[in-house]
Structures are given as structure tokens and as C-alpha cells.
Amino acid sequence: MTIDVARVRAQTPGCAAVVHFNNAGAALPPRPVLDAVLGHLRLEAEIGGYEAADRAAAALDDFYPAVAALLGAHPDEIAYAENATRAWDMAFHSVPFVAGDRILTTTSEYASNAIAYRRAEETLGVRVAVVPDGPDGLVSLDALAAELARGDVRLVSLNHVPTSNGLVNPAAEVGRLCRDAGVLFLLDACQSVGQRTVDVTEIGCDLLSSTGRKYLRGPRGTGFLYVRRSALPALVPPFLDLQSADWRPPGSYVLRDDARRFETWERFFAGQIGLAVAARYAADLGTDAIAERVTGLAADLRGRLAERPGVTVLDRGPEPSGIVTFTVDGLAADDVRDALRAKGVNVSVAVPSGHGYTAGAAPDVVRASVHYYNTEEEIGLLLDALPVT
């Protein structure tokens, strides 16, 4: 399957206005997603929020099979969340930790997750072990296996694609090690869903969190959580309401028996509809085709940047993602970003403080994250606009 680039660009209003290489931050939504969100907001304004939800029941319900199909999951294993961080938090804080349990994570862990680990250390008496990288930059599978063999591991928590260096961690290999050890595996797929094929059966994760706004091209303020059926009974969400549980007078409740025990009753209904449309849109294009184009464009950009005097490409790993990071000699990353933005080219800046266990180990970097609707000509425009000292 090959992506019709002209067609998807025609369906992306933002392509006419800007050269957008900030897809790891928030991608440009396609017209079907935009229409779905705006259409529901208009309906709410015209007939009322509750009434609009009733009328849109089928579109709202389609969120669960749409996301499940994208991940190779079952609809009852999917929960809607207001963002990836909240989805991850609900998963992490539902794990029944006891004092002495160990959490295994990576050097490139996102700071929000690392803060949660630290809090669990302070309040629950758990211990966090950071698994070192191998020589290729990926999490060391040998070191992970050794840590699992030591015992007392309650959770392995891995970021699939870190935000700041193009790396793609070996999630499926980590999943096999976790299954063999009988340890829960939580995958932060915030940057991978929508740019790669992410199959929860192949990967073997028990929990997976992701967002709508990045490579999936959905609305901001949306996300989701996958919870494997077999893992669900042992997981109690940290917050409950009348969506996640049934109230049983005169004073008891019963948790839902599906992943929606991690939801809240109130949510961004237009966003849920839009996220379902985004998931269908990605699936229709084909995740393998998306991955092939994203990987090819990123390789082209890396190669052309590396030819520029004073530019250093910093990406790691044997098969880098669509995230391309670099520095320009003599210029701060913020200044490079601002100079490019002034010429209609969007990039972002990744900072070491955004990663829990690598702070201070690397400079701030310019992050140019490509997507399938980008073109080789747009790469040329970025290079032409790149400031030099």
C-alpha cells in the first residue's frame, strides 16, 4: 500500500499555510477529524450537550473498536482519557505496589513519568532501577533480563519512542522478557502510535498509553489507555466515579469489568468522536505504509542535515523514528526554532530536563519531526531557512 501524498495534503488544511515539522508535538489534523470535532461542537451549541451526546451515541461508541483495531486489541480493552499523561497515570497508579517492589525503567524516561516513580518511592516504599542503554543506544535487553532475574520487580515501564533523539526501543523484545518473568509491562506509546505499526499482541504489553494530538493526528486534549483483559482484575484505578464503577446502595460499589473502569463520566465528547475518526483515518492509510514513508522522509532529512557544515545530527538507535534532532554550531536551539518559524517552518526544541534520568547529559536540541504528509520539497525549504553562523 502506498500513500497518496497529494490526496492527504489536500485533506490537510494546514499544509497550505505552513511547513509543519512539529508532528511529535502536535500534528496537523486532516479535514475529516476537523469536521467531526467542529460538527459535534456545533451540535452541542444548537441542541445542548446531553442531547448532542445522545444523538452522537454511535459515533462516540465507535471510538472503542476504532482504537482497538489500530492496536490489534479488543474494544473492551480500550479506555478514553483526556490526554496521554492522564492515561499513563491511571495505569501506573492502579498497580498494587507494596514496599520493596521494584520498578524498572530507562535512561530516556519522560520526566512526568519519572516524577510519578519518585512519588511512589516516597509514599509506597518502592524502588526504581534505571536499566542502562546498550552500545546502540537502545535499552539493554541483557541488563533488563539480569534485573528481572534479581526478582522483586512489580513493573517494567518503557517509553517506546523517546521524544528527543529518534530512538525506537525494542518493545516486543522487552515484552517477551516481561512475560517470561511474569511481570507487568507498561508501554508509553505517546510518540509511536500513528507513525509506526503498534500491535499489542506482538509487543505483549499489559498496559499502553497514548495521545491523540501527535502522530495520530487527532484533537488536542484526547488520549487513550489499553489494558489487557488478563491484567485488568488486579488493577484498581486511583480515582473512581459513576463511569468507572456502579453505585450499589446503601453504600457499596462494583467496578466495571472492562477497561472503562479507567474513565471518568465527563469528557471531551467532540474530542472522543474526532479521535475515533483519526484512528480510522490512520488504519485506512495503513500503519506499515505510514511507517515506511515517515522513516524514509526522516532518513532523507538526517542525511541532508548531516551534509551541512556546523550541523550535528544527534539521533540514536539502529532504526530511528520520524523524530530528527540536531544542533547548529554557535546557535541556541531556541534561536534556530524561532528563525525557522519566522520563515513558516515549524520545528520544536527538546530539552534534557524533559527526561528523568538524562538531565544535563545533552544540550537542548532542535527537533524536526516528519509525517507522511510532509514532502521532500518541504525538507528543502527547511534546509534553505536554516540559520547559519
Q: Total domain count for the chain?
A: 2
Predicted local distance difference test score (pLDDT) of residue 360: 55
Dist CA 270 CA 267 (whole Å) = 9
For residue 210, give the 3-state DSSP assignment.
strand
Predicted local distance difference test score (pLDDT) of residue 351: 85
User: Do 45 and 22 fall within a single domain?
Assistant: no
User: Do 315 and 228 fall within a single domain?
Assistant: no
Last residue of a domain, one of 284, 304, 329: 284
Share of the chain above pLDDT 70, in %: 98
Instruction: Read off the pLDDT of residues 297-352 as tens digits, 9 standing for 90 and up.
Output: 999 999 999 999 999 999 988 989 999 999 999 999 999 999 999 999 999 999 86
User: Do 19 and 123 fall within a single domain?
Assistant: no
User: Do 295 and 278 fall within a single domain?
Assistant: no
Q: Where are the beta strands (DSSP E) in the chain?
A: 19-20, 78-81, 102-106, 127-131, 153-159, 184-188, 207-211, 223-227, 245-248, 252-255, 311-313, 323-328, 345-346, 348-350, 365-369
Last residue of a domain, one of 255, 284, 313: 284
Instruction: Read off the pLDDT of residues 54-112 as tens digits, 9 standing for 90 and up.
Output: 999 999 999 999 999 999 999 999 999 999 999 999 999 999 999 999 999 999 899 89
Share of the chain above pLDDT 90, in %: 92
Q: Which of 118, 224, 210 is nearest to 171 (CA)?
A: 210
User: Do 266 and 308 fall within a single domain?
Assistant: no
User: Do 63 and 134 fall within a single domain?
Assistant: yes
Predicted local distance difference test score (pLDDT) of residue 359: 53
User: Do 211 and 121 fall within a single domain?
Assistant: yes
User: Do 239 and 198 fall within a single domain?
Assistant: yes
Give 388's pLDDT tier (boundaries 50, 70, 90).
confident
Predicted local distance difference test score (pLDDT) of residue 361: 59
Q: Judging by beta carbons within 10 Å of its beta carbon (0-12, 13-18, 19+), is residue 96 exposed, middle or buried?
A: exposed
Dist CA 141 CA 151 (whole Å) = 16
Q: What is the CATH number of the domain that holds 366?
A: 3.90.1150.10
- Describe the strand order of the beta sheet including 348-350 as a list of residue ranges: 311-313, 323-328, 365-369, 348-350
Predicted local distance difference test score (pLDDT) of residue 195: 97
Dist CA 311 CA 140 (whole Å) = 29
Q: Report pTM.
A: 0.96
Give 252's pLDDT tier (boundaries 50, 70, 90).
very high
User: Do 343 and 251 fall within a single domain?
Assistant: no
Q: What is the CATH number of the domain that holds 86?
A: 3.40.640.10
User: Do 209 and 300 fall within a single domain?
Assistant: no
Mean pLDDT of 200-215: 98
Instruction: Read off the pLDDT of residues 265-299 as tens digits, 9 standing for 90 and up.
Output: 999 999 999 999 999 999 999 999 999 999 999 99
User: Do 275 and 297 fall within a single domain?
Assistant: no
Last residue of a domain, one of 262, 284, 306: 284
Instruction: Read off the pLDDT of residues 156-168 as tens digits, 9 standing for 90 and up.
Output: 999 999 988 889 9
Which range marks the domain in which residue 57 is found? 32-284
User: Do 303 and 250 fall within a single domain?
Assistant: no
Predicted local distance difference test score (pLDDT) of residue 164: 83
Instruction: Read off the pLDDT of residues 341-361 as tens digits, 9 standing for 90 and up.
Output: 999 999 999 986 667 676 555
Long-range contacts of 374-378 (CB under 8 A, 24+ apart): 374/19, 374/20, 374/21, 374/23, 374/297, 375/5, 375/9, 376/297, 376/300, 378/19, 378/21
